[in-house]
Chains A and B, each alone.
Chain A
Amino acid sequence: MKRAVTLTINGEAISSEIEPRTTLVDFLREDVMLTGTHVGCEHGVCGACSVLLDGTPIRSCLLFAIQAEGHEVTTVEGLVEEDGSLGLLQDSFWETHAMQCGYCTPGMLIAAYGLLAESADPTEAEIREAISGNLCRCTGYVQIVDAVRLAAARMRQQ
């Protein structure tokens, strides 16, 4: 049986009717058509589905959408600046080519965003810890570490 759910996604209030078994990631992708958040394993290991829930990174395959009632969800689409241009972290990922196929990238961005919200000058070890719940099969993580460091340096300059 479908149930009503109301939550905020990227600053916008969204109401919908969903089956309780619908995960947040499926809801985002299939109902809200925000396909930037990706499905990798559906059992909570790969981190591709990471989103911010009230500002902290979580796995959206491990949360039923109905549980997000009243919460604020931020996806990769919500990381852009108000004018629609790329956010600083996104731009830094582009600058260092911190990706190849781009599939894990939205989840990586969310994980890194969560780190930079807490730490202005993270060490390499802290960066690695922050993204260690996100598997990337293309890059070997080095250019992702570079990107997060670059973003942190740019944020400190601002």
Chain B
Amino acid sequence: MKAATFEYVRPTHIDEVVSELARAGTDARIIAGGQSLVPMMAMRLVRPELLVDINHVSELTGIGKNNDSVCVRAATRQADAGRSEIIARVVPMLAAAVPFIGHNQTRNRGTIGGSLAHGDPTAEVLLVAMALGVTLDLRSEKGERSVNIKDFAVAPMETVMEEDECLVAARFQPAPTDLRVTAVVEEVAPRAGDYAILSVSAEIGLDLGGFCRHLRLGVSGATPVPFRPHMVEIALADSLLADDEVDDAVHLIDPVLDPESDVQASAAYRRRVAPGLLGRAIRTARDRAVVSLV
């Protein structure tokens, strides 16, 4: 399991990154954390001629907040996002997801942007991005563009990124500050920390009366790419998130589910468990928010 040969460049500026990509055309790949790319290269499932290492591009690292969004730059390590005070406060769903991303050693190296660009439908970062309706900034020699996540991940392992584009940052809408906000991620995985069979996320904001004024949900593992179940969010808007309300509402996703069977679980399992898991995440988030209200 040795990668095929490749050339390697280590630009220090985003302009160099995109010019290297433009020069190499389809044969180039960006490497950030490499936690998904390198195994595929070792198995020779991917064999770029040129590897563009973006770990030394300072503009691609870091977490910042302005008035209307939190900007997580693409090469930000997952572990750094997990440790970030801003993320914990303003993007709690991402903070809740980080412990589920691989293991300590892979989070220390893997990046937020790499996870999104890779397009693995089981990736927790993609789940959160989808639930929160993240905006992605892409850059190429031709210029910049922004894409909403739901238009970005189009199929398993397939995004709308062009070969010459580099993901620069993901911009998250901050969670409301005037509500009690909690976020929960629930996962079913054959082994803790590994590829999930199903994962769901819920971020809720309760007002002082316990009414749900903010709800963001995500479901992955039961459709080709993760999705945000707006119908459930709408059904539960302004409710008290009572158990029976939640249990009814989560089944609104049933018609959307289109799972496949594999070694670990049948399609029927995924179809049955996905709504239940989503309900569990919502109820857990609710309970934590209620505790914080008291």
Contacts and interface: CB of A to CB of B under 8 A. Distances in A.
A107 B222 CA distance: 35
A20 B104 contact: no
Contacts of A23: 3, 38, 42
B38 A56 contact: no
Nearest to A50: B105
A115 to B, nearest CB: 8
Contacts of A63: 34, 38, 109
Contact of B8 (A45, A64, A111): A64
A132 B193 contact: yes
A99 interface: no
A30 B4 CA distance: 18
A62 B109 contact: yes
Contact of A111 (B38, B42, B53, B105): B105
A43 B194 CA distance: 13
Interface residues of B, number: 33
B1 A43 contact: yes
Interface residues on A, range: 20 to 34
Interface in B30-76: 31, 33-35, 38-39, 41-43, 51, 53, 55
A136 interface: no
B108 interface: yes
Interface in A22-54: 23, 26, 42-45, 47, 50, 53
Given A43-B43, A67-B55, A114-B104, A62 B34 contact: yes
A3 B53 CA distance: 15
A43 B193 contact: no
Nearest to A62: B38
B109 A58 contact: yes
A47 B105 contact: yes
B6 A20 contact: yes
A73 B18 CA distance: 30
A62 B43 contact: no
B132 to A, nearest CB: 25
Given A20-B51, A44-B35, A133-B193, A59 B6 contact: no
Which 9 A-B residue pairs are closest in the complex by CB-CB distance?
A133-B103, A20-B8, A43-B39, A42-B1, A62-B38, A21-B3, A56-B108, A57-B105, A58-B109
Interface of A: 1, 3, 19-21, 23, 26, 42-45, 47, 50, 53, 56-59, 61-64, 66-67, 69, 111, 114-115, 129-130, 132-133
Given A59-B109, A66-B8, A115-B104, 6 more contacts: A1-B7, A20-B7, A42-B42, A50-B105, A64-B51, A133-B106
